[in-house]
Amino acid sequence: MSATGNRSLPVLQQAAPEARAEDPSRRQFLQAAAAAGAAAALGACDVEGALRRHFKELSKDEVARLLAKIERDHARRFGKKDWKATALGPRPGVEFGYGLDLSRCIGCRRCVYACVKENNQSRDPQIHWIRVLEMDKVRGVDVIESDIYYQADAVPRPGKFYMPVQCHQCRNPPCVKVCPVQATWTEPDGITVVDYDWCIGCRCCMAACPYGARHFNWTEPHIEAAEVNPDLHILGNRVRPKGVVEKCTFCIQRTRAGRYPACVEICPVGARKFGNLLDPSSEIRYVMENKRVFVFKEELNTRPRFYYFYAT
């Protein structure tokens, strides 16, 4: 080590320990930069949200104030509704897993629009958390040759199969690693969430994600007031500000309350399975133990909690 040190440039050798010692100030700088960046992105209307501390450092009171503020903001923007914002936390002993049956999916895109509706995605410009890839049966899973813009009078089309892709909720998530401000992290129940007030909109996570699961709000999201889902989660489907990244959260507002995600409930062929990976009697465990399961882009070592399988 010392021999290596002698050979290195002196300036580097000295700089390393100092940089470590200065970590707190560096963090402060980043926090200030993040807050300033978010404030610029959000505009003056959401200064309170933008200047707060990181979500994980908030006290219960601060979270409650934030939730009340979210409800107020939604009521002001979309009118009177039964707004209910929660910050429902993860349950102990729960790790969510998802299975999608490729032998059943018919590519009808019902899941895409159920997700948009449930999670208050922007209708214009369009943001879809789920993308359905149409592929040739003879080629197999071949992303480059796949088509998400297929139009048809009837699905499934002959010779084709369909592979919906959404956030894989990785155990080794590249998007979390690259975030310069820790605005995104994986919760104990396996859901990777985004703190929309903390995100600076650098879009590094979008570049890092191999599944194309992250989406950027280039403009203020446009949603008809009548279509906004009033059941909100602070880390999930509350209407996003302009300039932040959003992603699938396994419908955090539903699943943490014990319900199935919207895409599972809408799927007309029952191709989507959801459950607790730590519960041996859950359907997702049955799938993993008894069916042919494959992991999309397994070679990238992202270790997803989202599995594709063939039930037949």
Partner 1 sequence: MVLLRGGLAALAAAAAAAAVAGSPSPPPAAQPEAKPPTAAEYDTPAPPFELGLFPCTGCHTDAGNPKPRELGFHDEQQPLRHGQNLWCLDCHDQKKRDFLHLINGEQLPFSESYRLCGQCHGDKLRDWKVGVHGKRIGRWDGKKTYYLCVQCHNPHAPRFKGVETKEIGGVVMQRPIATPTRPEPAPRRPQEAR
Q: Contact residues for partner 1 (CB under 8 A)? A: 101, 106-110, 112-113, 125-126, 128, 131, 148-155, 255, 258-260, 264-265, 267-270, 273-276, 282-283, 286-287, 290-291, 311
Query: Which CB sits closer to partner 1, 30 or 311?
Result: 311
Query: How near is the Cβ of 164 to partner 1 at its closest, in Å?
Result: 12
Exposed e or buried b for every residue in 68-80, given b needs 16+ CB within 10 A?
eebbebbeeebee
206 or 311, CB closer to partner 1?
Answer: 311
Comparing CA positions, the residue from 279, 285, 308 lying closest to residue 166 is 308
Number of C-beta neighbours around residue 264 at 10 A = 23
Q: Who contacts 176 (Cβ-Cβ below 8 Å, separation ≥6)? A: 184, 185, 186, 192, 205
Shortest Cβ 148–partner 1 spacing (Å):
6
If the CB atoms of residues 10 and 258 are measured against partner 1, the closer one turns out to be: 258
Q: What is the closest distance, in whole angstroms, from the C-beta atom of residue 311 to partner 1 in the complex?
A: 6
Residue 27 C-alpha from the chain's centroid? 25
Two structure tokens written together for 227: 């279509």
Contact (Cβ atoms closer than 8 angstroms) between residue 156 and residue 107: yes
Q: Order the strands of the 292-294 sheet from edge to edge.
A: 272-276, 96-101, 306-310, 292-294
Q: How far is CA 265 from CA 99, 110, 115, 118, 271, in A?
A: 13, 10, 10, 11, 10
CB of 17 to partner 1, least distance (A): 47
In the complex, what is the shortest distance from the CB of residue 10 to partner 1, in angstroms, rounded to a whole number? 50
With respect to partner 1, which residue has the nearer C-beta, 71 or 265? 265
CA distance 5 to 83: 60
Q: Are 264 and 279 in contact (CB under 8 A)?
A: no
Residues 6+ apart with CB under 8 A from 120: 221, 223, 228, 229, 232, 237, 238, 239, 240
Shortest spacing between CB 214 and partner 1, in angstroms: 15
Choice between 113 and 206, CB closer to partner 1: 113
DSSP state of 161: E
Of 122 and 302, the one with the shorter C-beta distance to partner 1 is: 122
Q: Report the residue number, 83 or 250, with the smaller CB distance to partner 1.
A: 250
Q: Which is nearer to partner 1, 52 or 214 (CB)?
A: 214
What's the min distance (Å) between Cβ of 67 and partner 1?
24
CB of 212 to partner 1, least distance (A): 12
